[in-house]
Amino acid sequence: MPIFEVSHLVAGYGPIKALDGVSFDVNAGELIAIIGANGAGKTTLLMTISGVVPARSGSIRFLDQPINGLLTHEIVRLGVGHSPEGRRIFPRLTVRENLQLGGFTQPDRWQLKRDIAEACNLFPVLGTRMNQLGGTLSGGEQQMLALARALIGRPKLLMLDEPSLGLAPLVVVKIFEVIAGLTSRGIAVILVEQNARAALRLASRGYVLESGRITLSGSGPELLNDRRVRDAYLGE
């Protein structure tokens, strides 16, 4: 039973169609991967779902409710979290303030405290840097902060845009470990990655996005063994 469904989505900038009829779905507690080259439309897809880029046509449904046309913050409040490309932490706010902002929609301040403590459990390094400014963290720590901040918002569906970008291999392993654990907490995940191999290993299903169209889809292992995927994205 899909909790999230995109069909025939078209969006773009000016005369350019960045998305040209994209359709896919996500089941409850499922992790799907969307892979594709630079400029394929991956980031635009997430931005359109979030309502940052307006959809020209097509529909986006979350929990049997249409969400296209809603404002970004309304979509977030429905439970669609978005950790945007480039992490976008608040560099001049402390780690604690970043996490508090992640729980902006949490009205219960004691619950927010517990959620922040839990996030620090997940990423112990954040607990030791609570009063440090976000901008002074290393790239890996910033990604952990971005992930922790997104989780504190208690999303039902979390969209992650290139979480491994620019990180050291060991940090990537740690980040992917946490992402793999999200589904066991009942969070559905849309993982957008250039690191196709790592993403497809985690994903139960994957989609290949090329020039704004889904050209291929299948289970994670199917795509990992697909000739075309191996040639184009796995560098073999």
Does position 163 interact with other proteins (CB under 8 A)? The reply is no
Does position 73 interact with other proteins (CB under 8 A)? The reply is yes
Does position 164 interact with other proteins (CB under 8 A)? The reply is no
**Which one among 83, 143, 164, 195 touches other proteins, defined by CB under 8 A?**
83
Does position 42 interact with other proteins (CB under 8 A)? The reply is no
Does position 82 interact with other proteins (CB under 8 A)? The reply is yes
Residue in the block written with tokens 């289970």: 219
Site for other proteins in 115-134 (CB under 8 A): 131-133
29-37, 85-93, 173-181, 203-211 -> range binding other proteins (CB under 8 A): 85-93
Does position 72 interact with other proteins (CB under 8 A)? The reply is yes
CB nearer other proteins, residue 89 or residue 224: 89
As a whole number of angstroms, the distance between CA 84 and CA 220 comes to 23
Which DSSP string corresponds to 131-200? TSBGGGS-HHHHHHHHHHHHHHT--SEEEEE-TTTT--HHHHHHHHHHHHHHGGGT-EEEEEES-HHHHH
| CB atoms inside a 10 Å sphere around CB 145 | 24
Residue 82 CB contacts under 8 Å (≥ 6 apart), including other chains? 46, 49, 50, 76, 150, 158, 159, 161
Cβ-contact 20, 213 below 8 angstroms: yes
Does position 196 interact with other proteins (CB under 8 A)? The reply is no
CB of 54 to other proteins, least distance (A): 14
Does position 76 interact with other proteins (CB under 8 A)? The reply is yes
As a whole number of angstroms, the distance between CA 143 and CA 94 comes to 15
Cβ-contact 197, 206 below 8 angstroms: no
**Which one among 44, 50, 143, 164 touches other proteins, defined by CB under 8 A?**
50
Does position 101 interact with other proteins (CB under 8 A)? The reply is yes
Q: Which residues bind other proteins (CB under 8 A)?
A: 50, 52, 71-74, 76-77, 81-84, 88-94, 97, 100-102, 104-105, 131-133, 135-136, 149-150, 153
